[in-house]
Structure 1
Amino acid sequence: MTVVMDALLNRSSEARVTAPAPDAQTLEKVFACAARAPDHALLRPWRYLVIEGDEALAALGDLFASTPDADAPEKVREKLRANAMRAPMVIVGIACHQNHPKVPEIEQTMSAAVGMGYLLLALEAAGYGGMWRTGGLAYHPEVAKGLGLKDNEIITGFLYVGSVSSSKPTVPRPDQTEFVGRWPQ
């Protein structure tokens, strides 16, 4: 096997992460890896926001807490606020759609999503753990507005990043016969 294949086969989502988060030099390298995502027509249809530090994460939590209806219980808002504090760093992946005669928006979104996957793999290779989350907050217009997204942009996910704080059991993987077929049959 190769180093890349071993990394892929051993990859796992890590929900329990703590400080330290990656430093600037590590981030520079992992974002260079993310930029290697397949990119039809070299549109570079992605960008990332790095959110770290108590003040920035608290502001993200406040943004998350602002999303429920006005009559939502405070308990719901507190849970949303706490979501931002799951890790010492949150990286927001953003797909930046551009008009192009040969590259539809869905291809641009997929390119941005592959970049998020590469970013996660690169972070793991650098010794960090992470969890890629989406959910309602990723699709909420108030979150997009609060993060400064433009009309042509969507969130591809929130990557919660830090040092792995505890190991977990290996997740069983499906047998390839469950998801690989041959065509024609």
Structure 2
Amino acid sequence: MSALEAVLRRTSWSKVTEDAPTREQLLPLIEAAGRVADHSSLRPWRLIELRGDDRLALGAAIAKANGDDEPSGKPLRASLLIGVVVSYRRSEKVPRWEQEAVASGVAHTLSLLLDEAGWGVIWRTGGYTRSRAVAAAHGLAENEQLLGWLYVGGKPEGKDAGRRAPVDADALLTRMPQRGER
């Protein structure tokens, strides 16, 4: 399958089975995802693997962030969650927004690679991703922020993730205005 075919086929899987890739299966995919464009090769990102009771701890942290009495069941929707963290580096040339873009690029590329490997993936976020309780649960340093989680599992048999409407590329690819047209 070509990269173009993989990207055109990609979709989010909101429901997945309990199956999940092993750490050993993840490592080469993460290595490949780490090849995204990265100005000055700062590698301003890291990933956190959450399995088993890690997901319960996350549910408790989400509840704390939201002021809820009961732990959130959201982290139990997949047996593997991959926390996406931007780790800001000091740089005179690379601003923070660009470093966050690199971390986002790693997450998106990893989701494409997981999909191509046969896994169902959805990138989930929420207001609580930037909360102190959730940051503490992930052991984030002062220079880090959580961008969300890739929920990863098996694709249910006989199910389709659903398809998104095609992108109108012609409407979204514009030209620079010519002098006098601005």
- Give your verdict on TM over 0.5: yes
CA shift digits 1:145-170 (9 cap, x unpaired): 22110110011221110111231332
TM-score, with length taken from structure 2: 0.90
Query: Match for residue 57 of structure 1?
Result: 55
Pairing 1:127–2:118 present: yes
Say which SS state the counterpart of residue 161 (structure 1) adopts: strand
**d(CA) in 2 for partners of 1:33 and 1:135?**
27
Alpha-carbon distance, 1:82 to partner: 0.7
Q: What is the identity, as a one-letter code, of the residue corresponding to 1:128? A: W
Query: Match for residue 28 of structure 1?
Result: 27
Query: Match for residue 175 of structure 1?
Result: 168
Q: What is the identity, as a one-letter code, of the residue corresponding to 2:58? A: L
CA shift digits 1:15-40 (9 cap, x unpaired): 11112101122101111122111111
Q: How many residues align?
A: 176
In 1, are the aligned partners of 2:14 and 2:161 still within 8 Å (CA)?
no
List structure 1 runs of 4+ shifted beyond 4 angstroms.
none
Query: Match for residue 67 of structure 1?
Result: 65
Alpha-carbon distance, 1:65 to partner: 1.4
Say which SS state the counterpart of residue 73 (structure 2) adopts: helix
* Structure 1 segment 71-90 matched on structure 2, within 5 A: 72=68, 74=69, 77-78=70-71, 81-90=72-81
Q: What is the identity, as a one-letter code, of the residue corresponding to 1:21? A: A
Alpha-carbon distance, 1:98 to partner: 1.1
The one of 167, 177, 182 aligned to 1:184: 177
Say which SS state the counterpart of residue 36 (structure 2) adopts: coil
**d(CA) in 2 for partners of 1:170 and 1:100?**
40
Structure 2: gaps (5+ residues): none
Q: What is the identity, as a one-letter code, of the residue corresponding to 1:135? A: G
TM-score, with length taken from structure 1: 0.89
In 1, are the aligned partners of 2:84 and 2:103 still within 8 Å (CA)?
yes
Pairing 1:117–2:108 present: yes
**d(CA) in 1 for partners of 2:74 and 2:60?**
10
**d(CA) in 2 for partners of 1:109 and 1:168?**
28
Query: Match for residue 98 of structure 2?
Result: 107
**d(CA) in 1 for partners of 2:54 and 2:4?**
36
Say which SS state the counterpart of residue 17 (structure 1) adopts: coil
Say which SS state the counterpart of residue 32 (structure 2) adopts: helix
**d(CA) in 2 for partners of 1:169 and 1:13?**
8
Structure 1: gaps (5+ residues): none
